[in-house]
Amino acid sequence: MASGARAAEALAEAGAEAVAPAVAADAAETGDGAPIVVTGLRGVELRSITKSPAPIDVLTGDQVTSIGRAEFGEALTKLLPSFNFVTNQAGVTSILRPVTNRGLGPAYTLVLVNGKRRHNGATIAAGSGDNSGVNPVDFDLIPSSLVNSIEVLKDSAAAQYGSDAVAGVVNVKLRDSDHGFNSNFTWGSLYGGSGSLPSWKAQADAGFKLGNDGGFLHISGDVRHRGQAWWNFPATNPNFYGSTTKPSAAAQAKNATWNRDGAHNGDPKINAFNLAYNARLPISDTTSIYSFGTFGHRESAAGNNVRRANSRASFDVLFPNGYHPVNNIAENDWQVVAGADGDVGGWKWDLSTSYGRHRAHHSSELTLNPSLGPTGPTHFDNLATYIFDQWTTNADLTKGIEVGLAKPLQVSIGAEVRRDHFKTLAGDPDGYRNGGYVYKAGDQFDDPNVGQLALVGAQSSFTIRPSEQADISRTVVAGYLDLGIYPLERWYIGAAGRLEHYSDAAGTTVGGKFNTRFEITDRFALRGTVGTGFRAPSLSQIGYAQTDNRTAIVGGVIVPSLSVLALNTSPLARALGASDLKPEKSVNFGFGGVWEITPAISLTVDAYQVTVKNRIIRTSNLAGANVTAALKANGYTGTEFVTFFTNALDTRSRGVDAVFQAGHDFGNLGKVNLSASFNYNETKIQKLAAPPAPLGTLSTGFVFFGRDRQGELSVGNPKTKAVIAANWKLAPVELNVQTTRYGKLTYWRSQLTSQDRVYGAKWITDVELSVDVTRFARLSVGASNVFNVRPDAYPELGDPNTGSSGFVYGPSPFAPSGGYYYGRIGVTF
């Protein structure tokens, strides 16, 4: 229920990032019960959602929990129409599922916790739907058990918050009560599929008093398990054993025994736990100290396409019936924030420092590097390690100053120093080296590959070589000035300016934002925004490289692929015409209206346009004579594909957000809250960079920046999305019903228009019924996707030599796993 059923309970005391925080009073809500929001605002004046000069949604932690099976990030995309995510199902890339906002990838939405910048993750976006190479914040590593509310600013705010706030800001507010205990346990299962269908989650939080003057300590913990599940077409080529051209009678007889289970792509298995705390202690009448922190550990296992027994990637002595490689990721993530705030001479001040770190370690089991022969290892404990850490220190001041206008002038100033560090570590050489093994008689049933070279590299894995390691950092120094002016009682004008200096090639930039709100009547107002943005290349885009041993689409068919993502500054990439990455520049326009029809009914409509120039994207797979020569000159075999990051294009995103909310108390019939929200978004590519001359002529089927990459940005998300929600409460019963409509989606699968896929619009409905069985205990039963709706099914592209067992469903904007039923028991006192 986006801004819906429990929105009136959502509080957001601290609402802005370290460099641009709102220093808000502790008031919970306005006189009419509307929730106070401060994200996107500074100063001491309290505002409700409809009084904000920028569009804001407010969600509660309970809303996220009531979504059922969905992880935190996915739950946000179900609740917010402008948010989408692509369900990557392919191996290791299925673990990180970044969200998009207003058609823009995760690099363009800033994530805050308690108004302080959340550190980025270490793993990069490199799968279907997003190949930008950024290392986004992983929402699923934020402990949902301590989440009180979430404010979502649906407006460009780069001039206020920093370069990654082009599309908006998500501010997660942690629980801050000094008493009480809450716990719940949820168990559920998918309606159907292969693999392990059940999942469960347990969480608890408790509040304690600190001191005698309103201090508190709130702690939480949660642990969760999700089974590995998949739902795929049977393999199209039944020849699993023996020669691919002319299998013997014995091989044909053995083929008849194969179940054609050709892929385990789908939901990865996840085992994870989180711990968190939030604390504040007044030390005088005007000063308080505060701190909060999170720690998370997650272990994931993702399935892949089968390696056939008759392929050049298998040996009978190791895997006589082929194998499905498993990718494993083990992650540790933590962040600690400490600070003090107070009031001196009417100036509210806030000084804080924050350190966050994410480490992801990639290993693999049930796999092998075929080039090492039949005596090589079948698991690799160390294929690659990714580390990102961030240290942020900031100081902020805000004050209302009487200058003879209708209301005091709101003045806010501040500064930030931030250090970002990205590092990758090479893995076991056996994972990527070429052992040069040639198949011999007896290696495989029917000996289909005698005399041929075995494939190179740990199958279905990312690997990092010493030459591909990264250790890169930079310091960002920023300052801002934000003014809020009231020329008239009904007219607000906000102006913000931001200066940022990057210690690397990104240099110095100045950004600005102007927004205004004018109340035409007591219940109707217009608002608008104009702003500029500047996004420096992320460290991962500058410094990340890997060797990817999976599959690619060439000439419309799936083929085994050993591809190299080369450092933009490497001799290999430079030999192919790569140049230094330039910062992206953006311009944002927004205009809308707010209509408070009654104190309990409201409608907001906001249109927007965001243009981004020099957008950084990964090229398509490249192959050709010049590519082969460059590979050999840099120590590769010459048979690999090559990609690198480049400033590939300019885009323009246009759309409209609309939110309707209504609530009424029907007395003996209960209280009802309704909400309906809608987003229309269209992203167009306005300019494409020309291929660099050193690339030369590419091989047939290869393009510098092809339709597949273009489609991820322009048609990879539905143009329309609507969320309709209702909450009915009559003690001791509460019912939540939500339905989300995802509009039609076109997926540009390859360079061939004949292989485009069109996914029809779908309605996904979630239902939860809760009963307070005692004063302290609540039982809930529900279903996520209660009608088991799935995306349109399409046969996978085939490989005439090895065959395939493709996804039944491609990268849909909702989970293709179908319905999920669950039960939950909660205890509160």
Would you state the structure tokens that stand for residue 287, as one six-digit string? Answer: 């000063």
As separate numbers, helices (DSSP H) first and strands (DSSP E) second, the chain gives 8, 40
Cα four-point dihedral sign 610, 616, 622, 626: positive
Please name the CATH architecture into which domain 7-828 falls. Beta Barrel (2.40)
Name residues whose C-beta falls within 8 Å of residue 503's C-beta, 6 or more positions apart in sequence: 474, 475, 476
48 pairs with which residues across the strands? 36
Distance CA 147, CA 149 (A): 6
793-797: which pairs have CB atoms within 8 A and are 24 or more residues apart? 794/757, 795/233, 795/236, 796/233, 796/236, 796/558, 797/553, 797/556, 797/557, 797/558, 797/749, 797/750, 797/755
Confidence class for position 422, pLDDT limits 50, 70, 90: very high
pLDDT in tens, 624-681: 999 999 999 998 888 888 989 999 999 999 999 999 999 999 999 999 999 999 999 9
Q: Which residue has the tokens 């990057």?
A: 502
Element (H, E) at 627: helix 625-633
Task: Write down the pTM of the prediction.
Answer: 0.89
Q: What pLDDT does 40 receive?
A: 55
For residues 753-772, average pLDDT: 88
293-346 pLDDT, tens digit per residue, is 999 999 999 988 889 899 899 999 999 999 999 999 999 999 999 999 999 989
Helix (H, G, I), strand (E, B) or coil at 554: strand
Q: Specify the DSSP class assigned to residue 55.
A: -
> Which of left, alpha, beta for 541 (phi over 0: left; psi -120 to 50: alpha)?
alpha
pLDDT at residue 635, as a whole number:
85
CB 703 within 8 Å of CB 627? no
What pLDDT is attached to residue 750? Answer: 66
**What is the Cα–Cα distance from 814 to 116, expressed in whole angstroms?**
30
For the CA atoms of 639, 641, 646, 648, what is the dihedral angle to 10 degrees?
130
Tokens of 752: 């061939």
Tell how far CA 130 is from the center of its chain.
Answer: 10
CA distance to 76, 92, 107, 377, per residue, from 304 (Å):
27, 8, 27, 18
Q: Is it the case that residue 804 has pLDDT exceeding 80?
A: no
Residue 801: is its pLDDT beyond 50?
A: no
Nearest C-alpha neighbor of 515 from the set 586, 407, 591: 591
Alpha helices in 149-221 (DSSP H): 158-161
Average pLDDT over residues 696-725: 86
Answer whether residue 577 shows pLDDT above 50.
Answer: yes
Question: What is the identity of the amino acid at 1?
Answer: M
Mean residue pLDDT across the chain: 86
Based on the number of CB atoms within 10 Å of its own CB, is 336 exposed (0-12), middle (13-18) or buried (19 or more)?
middle
pLDDT 10s digits, 481-534: 999 999 999 999 999 999 999 998 888 888 899 999 999 999 999 999 999 988
The pLDDT of residue 809 is above 90: no
- Is 11 or 478 the better-scoring residue by pLDDT? 478
For residue 26, what pLDDT band results from cuts at 50, 70 and 90?
very low
